[in-house]
Amino acid sequence: MRSGVDEIRREIADILGIPEDRVSDDLAAGSIPKWDSLAQLAIVSTLEEKYKLHIPEEQLMRLSSVSAIEEYVTRGELPAETASETNRGAFLPVAKAAPAAGTEDMLLPEVLRLHARQRPGQVALVVNDRSITYEELWDDMLRAAAWLHERGIKAGDVLGLYAEKRREFFVLYFGAQLMGGIVLNMDPGIKQARYEAIMCQVQPKLSVGATAYADVPWEEVKLPHSGGQLDFPALSRDDVAEIMFTTGTTGTPKGVQLTHGNLAAAAAHINAFLQTTGQDVDLVALPVHHSFGMGRVRCMLAVGGAAVMAPGFSNTMNVCEMLQHYGVTGLALVPAAWSYMESSGGAKALAAAARLRYMEIGGATLLPAARDRLLQLFPQTRICVYYGLTEASRSTFVELHSEVAHCDSVGRPCAGVEVRVCDQYGTPLPLGQEGEICIRGPHVMKGYLHTPRGDVFFGNFFRSGDWGYVDTEGYVHLSGRMKDMINVGSEKVSPEEVEAVLNLVPGVAESACVPAPDPKGILGEVVKAILVAAPAVPRPTDEQIQAVVADRLERFKVPRIIEWREKLARTDSGKLQRRLMR
Burial classification of residue 272, based on how many CB atoms lie within 10 Å of its CB (0-12 exposed, 13-18 middle, 19 or more buried): middle
Number of Cα atoms under 13 Å in the Cβ half of residue 179:
29
Domain-located, residue 137 = no
- Cβ atoms of 179 and 153 within 8 Å: the answer is yes
Mean pLDDT score, 21-38? 57
Packing angle of the helix pair 167-178, 134-150 (nearest 10 deg): 70
Q: Is the pLDDT reported for residue 275 higher than 80?
A: yes
Domain-located, residue 356 = no
Q: Give kind and range of the element (H or E) at residue 141.
A: helix 134-150
Domain-located, residue 230 = no
Which residue, of 91, 112, 133, is where some domain finishes?
Answer: 91
Q: Is the pLDDT reported for residue 27 higher than 90?
A: no
Residue with more model confidence, 152 or 487: 152
Q: Which of 93-107, 139-153, 435-449 has the lowest mean pLDDT?
A: 93-107
SS (H, E, C) 337-370: HHHHHHHCCCHHHHHHHCCCCEEEECCCCCCHHH
pLDDT number for residue 63: 61
Kindly give the pairing relationship between strand 330-333 and strand 281-284.
parallel
Strand ranges in 187-284 using DSSP code E only, listed in sequence order: 206-208, 240-247, 253-259, 281-284
Domain-located, residue 560 = yes
Name the H helices within 17-89.
Answer: 37-51, 66-75
Beta bridge partner(s), residue 412: 397
Domain-located, residue 348 = no
Which residue, of 37, 57, 91, is where some domain finishes?
Answer: 91
Which residue, of 33, 61, 91, is where some domain finishes?
Answer: 91
Kindly give the pairing relationship between strand 382-389 and strand 392-399.
antiparallel
Q: Is the pLDDT reported for residue 38 higher than 60?
A: no
Beta bridge partner(s), residue 528: 514, 561
DSSP state of 209: S
Number of CB atoms found within 10 A of residue 270's CB: 24
Burial classification of residue 573, based on how many CB atoms lie within 10 Å of its CB (0-12 exposed, 13-18 middle, 19 or more buried): exposed
Residue with more model confidence, 500 or 417: 417
Residue 360: pLDDT band by 50, 70, 90 thresholds? very high
Domain-located, residue 566 = yes
Q: Which range of residues forms the domain containing residue 18? A: 2-91
State the chain's mean pLDDT as an integer.
86
Q: Is the pLDDT reported for residue 57 higher than 70?
A: no
pLDDT number for residue 248: 57
Q: Is the pLDDT reported for residue 295 higher than 80?
A: yes
Beta bridge partner(s), residue 466: 481
DSSP string, 417-477: -EEEEE-TTSPBPPTT--EEEEEESTTB-SEETT--GGGTEETTEEEEEEEEEE-TTS-EE
Q: Is the pLDDT reported for residue 37 higher than 60?
A: no
Residue 125: pLDDT band by 50, 70, 90 thresholds? very high
Q: Is the pLDDT reported for residue 286 higher than 90?
A: yes
Q: Which of 37-41, 44-48, 251-255, 551-555 has the lowest mean pLDDT?
A: 37-41
Q: What is the pLDDT of residues 520-558, one digit of tens each?
A: 888 889 999 999 999 888 999 999 999 999 999 999 999
As a whole number of angstroms, the distance between CA 405 and CA 473 comes to: 11
- CATH code where residue 509 lies: 3.30.300.30
Q: Which of 54-58, 82-86, 286-290, 399-403 has the lowest mean pLDDT?
A: 82-86
Q: Is the pLDDT reported for residue 194 higher than 80?
A: yes
Domain count along the chain: 2
DSSP string, 314-326: S-HHHHHHHHHHT
pLDDT number for residue 12: 76
Taking alpha carbons only, the member of 91, 106, 492 closest to residue 298 is 106
Residue 576: pLDDT band by 50, 70, 90 thresholds? confident
- Cβ atoms of 285 and 310 within 8 Å: the answer is yes
Is the Cα dihedral 259, 261, 267, 270 positive or negative?
negative
Taking alpha carbons only, the member of 409, 346, 355, 401 closest to residue 376 is 401
Is the Cα dihedral 240, 246, 248, 251 positive or negative?
positive
Domain-located, residue 512 = yes
Taking alpha carbons only, the member of 181, 95, 169 closest to residue 133 is 95
Please compute Rg for the chain using Cα positions.
Answer: 26
pLDDT number for residue 87: 37
What one-letter code names the amino acid at 402? S
Number of CB atoms found within 10 A of residue 266's CB: 27
- CATH code where residue 27 lies: 1.10.1200.10
Domain-located, residue 148 = no
